[in-house]
Structure 1
Amino acid sequence: MSRKVTWPGVRTKRAKGRTYYYWARTEPWSRLPNPYDDPDGFMRAIARLQRIGALEDERTRTGTFGGLVAAYRKDRKYLDRSASTRANYDHYLSRLLAAYASAPLRELTREDIQTRVMDANQDTPGAADMMLSILRNLYKFAVKRHRGIEDWTLGVEPYGNQSEREPWPDDLLALALASENASFRRAVALTLYTGQRVGDVCSMTWGMIRADALHFRQQKTKAEMVIPLYPKLSALVSDLPRSDRHLFLLSNEQGGPLIPDTFGRWCRKFCADNGHERRTAHGLRKNATIELFEAGCTTAEVAAITGHKSLGMLDHYGKKRSQPKIARLATAKWQGAETKREREN
């Protein structure tokens, strides 16, 4: 049980006959030295925590960029994003806060964004584009809540370099699917054969397999998915290790789930070691999308497998599909239609 004592902001707790002191203006509370055993240390700790608190107040004060980020993180649209998406956002928000936390919103300019975000990160264009995208969302949030705020992201052009999400070349994919590292090989195959995001693939359990299909809910879109166990996928699932301690389709040696970040590191290292830097695990989702298009699937049919909500994004993913393969499918359908007409006549 806690009780107030004579120092503002300090709370105490009793445990095993002893009294412990805490600074209660942080979350979680910060442990303090006992003021009677070490009064100087106690006062120095309070002074340090007060300085940290004052700095944090300045960084999150209403009207500053830091205050905007703090409010945005409490917004329902942000909270409804998947845990992995929020973690990704937080990574880049932290970088933006390092530059702009205490900056007044009304004093930020388009030139600031161009020079301190885009130009300063031109060596990592994917990161620059991600921060620009997040800034666009922040400004959409801000203009509805702060009078006189202008969206200074308008007119700032992204690099458009998304090579980190490019599909894997055929030779690289063949090497991965023949890898001697069984855990890596299976993870690549399951990602490719289902067309799902890495987080969803690593979360798949044996209990999701029912009636010759894989049933799961996408973490990002919350969409309920059912993917039939077609022959290639069925053969892969049959090859996966299964026991009482293997709950997940992709398990580590102890039976726990394969961590998405671990699989991501495997993929980046494998690609770099084979001369394809900046390729990532997410590129496998593009490979699956392209293969579905090249098999003659319609946009709606591809979306039924991948779960894409934006058909525009799906078309963007499919831009790398092979024109000759699509052309052969089209001419085969064309010839089939002519043959059918001739028979009918």
Structure 2
Amino acid sequence: MRQKKAKGRVYHYWARTTPWTRLPDPYSDPDGFMRAMARLQRMGALEDERHRTGTFGGLVADYRRSKHFRETLSNSTRESYDRYLTRLLVAYAAAPLREMTPEDIQRRVLDANEDTPGAADMMLTILRTLYAYARKRHRGLSDWTEGLEYFGNQTEREPWPDDMLQAALTSDNELFRRAVTLALYTGQRPGDVCAMTWGMVAGDMIRVRQQKTKTALEIPMHDNLKAMIDELPRSEEHLFLLSNRRGGPLTREVFLVWCQKFTRKLGMNRTPHGLRKNAAIELFEAGCTSAEVAAITGHKSLAMLEHYGKRRSQPKIARLGMGKWKAKTKGEREN
């Protein structure tokens, strides 16, 4: 309720309607005032329920309160979802769920964001997640993402070219060089790399619990990684392997910016996540099986892992395979 003073009198208004609804004076007509308040409150409750259950804004509010959003998603994924949900609410907050169509999403989400295909693809993924959540709670909803296609432009997450990777591994920026080394030789996501502490190091192993999947891993250290870790400063002020001068952790946001700045100077745009693909490719090219690669990177889906490995070098794999064949033939002759 709001009050306004005009011409020496005080007027009372219900402020949840547009325009505000004037109320009877509570002093001269208390019964009328209470009846009007009760009626408006009932109307407001019905409107809230209609909004909560029947619009995109209400669906998003429900989803943000869900266990899936609050507990199943990792912190980084939840933050990313939150950011894109806010963008989608600008376009669809008051949209009735039953009136949302693929054609409208194509125009207002995909076409409107074609200059940033990565963002458009992420919003389409979130819209599909929301539909899967909504159809279990709203009978008869049509799939508002049916037939829509991803741009599929994921160049930022592509593996780093060999020359660019070597330049990063020998960079004069000490902390950047260490971050790239740790990300490459553990094959972990940027958030997990930045969260690694000295307590996770045990001999020649690094123990990791992935933030996204909660998978626990024990990763043997590559000689290059072991040499780098042996040189890291260690004190009571440096809890994290990648700590700044004040002892705080390197954040994944800063790591992202560093990688983008470094790679753009070399004519490309790459992110820390691409180093995870580099790790998978190196392991495949070394002759590892999918199961062996997954034991290091923590991938649950072998199909996704094979997707990562599509960029492995055919000549290297062929040379490795021929070497095994030659060894087999030599063994047979000796026997």
TM-score class normalised by the smaller sequence: 0.7 to 0.9
Distance 1:59 1:70, change over 3 A: farther
Q: Which residue of 1 aligns with 2:194?
A: 202
Which of 59, 73, 77 is the equivalent residue of 1:68? 59
Q: Which residue of 1 aligns with 2:280?
A: 289
2:334 counterpart of 1:343: yes
2:176 counterpart of 1:184: yes
Give the Cα separation in 1 of the matches to 2:111 and 2:96.
Answer: 21
Q: Which residue of 2 aligns with 1:122?
A: 114
Q: Equivalent residue of 1:225, what SS?
A: strand
Question: Is residue 60–residue 70 contact of structure 1 (8 Å, CA) maintained in 2?
Answer: no
Tell me how far 1:312 sits from its aligned partner: 1.1
The residue type equivalent to 1:319 in the other structure is: K
Q: Where in structure 2 are there 5+ consecutive unaligned residues?
A: 4-10, 20-43
Which of 234, 237, 254 is the equivalent residue of 1:242? 234
Distance 1:57 1:262, change over 3 A: farther
Q: Equivalent residue of 1:282, what SS?
A: helix
For 1:142-291, what aligned pairs fall within 5 Å after superposition?
Answer: 142-277=134-269, 279-291=270-282
The residue type equivalent to 1:93 in the other structure is: L
Tell me how far 1:60 sits from its aligned partner: 5.3
Question: Is residue 166–residue 286 contact of structure 1 (8 Å, CA) maintained in 2?
Answer: yes
Instruction: Count residues with an aligned counterpart.
Output: 300
Question: Is residue 189–residue 273 contact of structure 2 (8 Å, CA) maintained in 1?
Answer: yes
Q: Which residue of 2 aligns with 1:90?
A: 82
Tell me how far 1:141 sits from its aligned partner: 1.0
Moved more, 221-230 or 335-344: 335-344
The residue type equivalent to 2:241 in the other structure is: L
The residue type equivalent to 2:291 in the other structure is: A
The residue type equivalent to 2:330 in the other structure is: T
Q: Equivalent residue of 2:133, what SS?
A: helix
Question: Is residue 289–residue 306 contact of structure 1 (8 Å, CA) maintained in 2?
Answer: yes
Q: Where in structure 1 are there 5+ consecutive unaligned residues?
A: 1-6, 9-34, 36-42
Q: Equivalent residue of 1:119, what SS?
A: helix
Tell me how far 1:58 sits from its aligned partner: 9.2
- Per-residue CA shift, 1:191-231, capped at 9, x if unaligned? 01111001001110001112421112110010111011231
Give the Cα separation in 1 of the matches to 2:48 and 2:267.
Answer: 47
Question: Is residue 303–residue 309 contact of structure 1 (8 Å, CA) maintained in 2?
Answer: yes
Tell me how far 1:146 sits from its aligned partner: 0.5
Q: Equivalent residue of 1:216, what SS?
A: strand
The residue type equivalent to 1:247 in the other structure is: L
- Per-residue CA shift, 1:1-41, capped at 9, x if unaligned? xxxxxx79xxxxxxxxxxxxxxxxxxxxxxxxxx9xxxxxx
TM-score of the superposition, structure 1-length normalised? 0.82
Give the Cα separation in 1 of the matches to 2:53 and 2:93.
Answer: 11
Q: Equivalent residue of 2:322, what SS?
A: helix
Q: Which residue of 1 aligns with 2:100?
A: 108
Distance 1:230 1:170, change over 3 A: closer
2:301 counterpart of 1:310: yes
- Per-residue CA shift, 1:224-279, capped at 9, x if unaligned? 110112312211111212122100000001011111101111111111122113x1
Q: Which residue of 1 aligns with 2:131?
A: 139
Give the Cα separation in 1 of the matches to 2:236 and 2:61.
Answer: 44
Give the Cα separation in 1 of the matches to 2:146 and 2:333.
Answer: 57
Runs of 4+ with >4 A deviation: 56-60
Give the Cα separation in 2 of the matches to 1:59 and 1:301.
Answer: 52
Distance 1:57 1:169, change over 3 A: farther
Q: Which residue of 2 aligns with 1:27?
A: none
Tell me how far 1:113 sits from its aligned partner: 1.2
The residue type equivalent to 1:64 in the other structure is: T
Tell me how far 1:47 sits from its aligned partner: 5.5
- Per-residue CA shift, 1:139-197, capped at 9, x if unaligned? 11111110110112121111111111001111111111111110111001110111100
TM-score of the superposition, structure 2-length normalised? 0.84
Q: Equivalent residue of 1:73, what SS?
A: helix
Give the Cα separation in 2 of the matches to 1:192 and 1:57.
Answer: 50
Tell me how far 1:287 sits from its aligned partner: 0.7
Give the Cα separation in 1 of the matches to 2:49 and 2:85.
Answer: 17
Give the Cα separation in 2 of the matches to 1:223 and 1:47.
Answer: 50
Give the Cα separation in 1 of the matches to 2:311 and 2:93.
Answer: 40
